[in-house]
């Protein structure tokens, strides 16, 4: 793995584990021991994998990628959710470079044929005067069956590949592709402070565009039609009265009115 990541700002120091509670928790422990930005924790399986909105991320051994990065972005804390969007974009571009047709369901689910193939959980931690982020990513690589309840909603690279090539995917090269793209986008994001140079690339994959979405705001859900994203990473949604509203990635999520997407 070290060779595949040579020169990449994210991926060192690297901790590779057989089994762990959660790679996100592992990064917190590494930070307590003084790990710098770029640290990477990867595991074969997680026995307490965490998803968004308090859900569990089922993490069986030997099939998928489960990894977390330590990021200390030179960005105001309000802009931290953009790092998650940038990871989604990195996964989408990496999959496209391997011959897939990925989509992004705002803010950060990567989908293949309308089903979720990757989830990202970014956790924010106060750190002295500043903050750090743990960017945890799960990519379904070689999983061929999913627990009841996830069938029809989840998929994997091996189930969705378009080429005739058979066999399972090697996971390390996929991880290296993602980390290299993430590093480039992260640098751009830090330079600009927003998504002005990345927004077009993100919108190319955005599956919500033109679709009815329900915005799950803790202050009250509402429905509208998604139109794209702003430079601040907000989802642009036209509401029922024709007004345009910006939905901030840190607070709410959206679901399709007519299905997952
Ligand atoms: C989601 O609910 O969509 C986010 C899922 C994030 C899963 C990844 S797997 C690696 C990292 N460790 C965790 O416990 N969660 C994230």
Using CA atoms, how far apart are residues 102 and 107, in angstroms rounded to an integer? Answer: 14
Distance 102 CA to ligand 1 centre (A): 19
Going by alpha carbons, the residue nearest to atom 3 of ligand 1 is 119
Q: What's the pLDDT at 250? A: 62
**Residue partners of 128: CB distance under 8 A and separation at least 6:** none
Q: What's the pLDDT at 259? A: 65
> 143-176 pLDDT, tens per residue?
999 988 887 899 999 999 877 777 899 999 999 9
> 182-213 pLDDT, tens per residue?
999 999 999 999 999 999 999 999 999 999 99
For ligand 1, residues with CB inside 6 Å are: 22-24, 46, 49-52, 55, 57, 66-68, 109, 119-121, 136-138
Distance 244 CA to ligand 1 centre (A): 31
Distance 50 CA to ligand 1 centre (A): 5
Number of the ligand 1 atom closest to the C-alpha atom of 49: 14
Q: What's the pLDDT at 3? A: 83
- Strands 14-20, 40-46: pairing is parallel
């Amino acid at each position: 793995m070290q060779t595949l990541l040579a020169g990449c700002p994210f991926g060192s120091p690297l901790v590779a584990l057989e089994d762990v509670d959660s790679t996100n928790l592992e990064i917190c422990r590494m930070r307590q021991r003084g790990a710098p930005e770029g640290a990477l924790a990867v595991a074969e399986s997680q026995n307490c994998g965490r998803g968004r909105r308090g859900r569990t991320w089922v993490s069986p051994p030997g099939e998928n990628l489960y990894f977390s990065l330590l990021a200390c972005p030179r960005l105001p804390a309000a802009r931290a959710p953009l790092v998650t969007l940038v990871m989604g974009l990195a996964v989408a571009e990496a999959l496209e470079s391997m011959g897939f047709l990925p989509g992004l369901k705002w803010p950060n689910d990567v989908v293949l044929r309308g089903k979720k193939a990757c989830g990202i959980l970014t956790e924010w931690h106060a750190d002295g005067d500043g903050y750090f982020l743990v960017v945890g990513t799960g990519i379904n690589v070689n999983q061929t069956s999913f627990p009841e309840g996830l069938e029809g909603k989840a998929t994997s690279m091996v189930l969705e590949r378009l080429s005739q090539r058979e066999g399972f995917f090697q996971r390390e090269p996929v991880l290296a592709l993602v980390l290299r793209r993430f590093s480039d986008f992260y640098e751009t994001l830090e330079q600009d402070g927003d998504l002005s140079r990345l927004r077009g690339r993100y919108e190319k994959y955005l599956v919500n565009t033109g679709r009815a979405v329900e915005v799950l705001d803790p202050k009250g859900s509402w429905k509208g039609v998604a139109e794209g994203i702003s430079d601040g990473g907000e989802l642009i949604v036209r509401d029922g009265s024709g007004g345009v509203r910006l939905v901030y990635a840190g607070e709410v999520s959206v679901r399709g009115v007519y299905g997952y997407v």
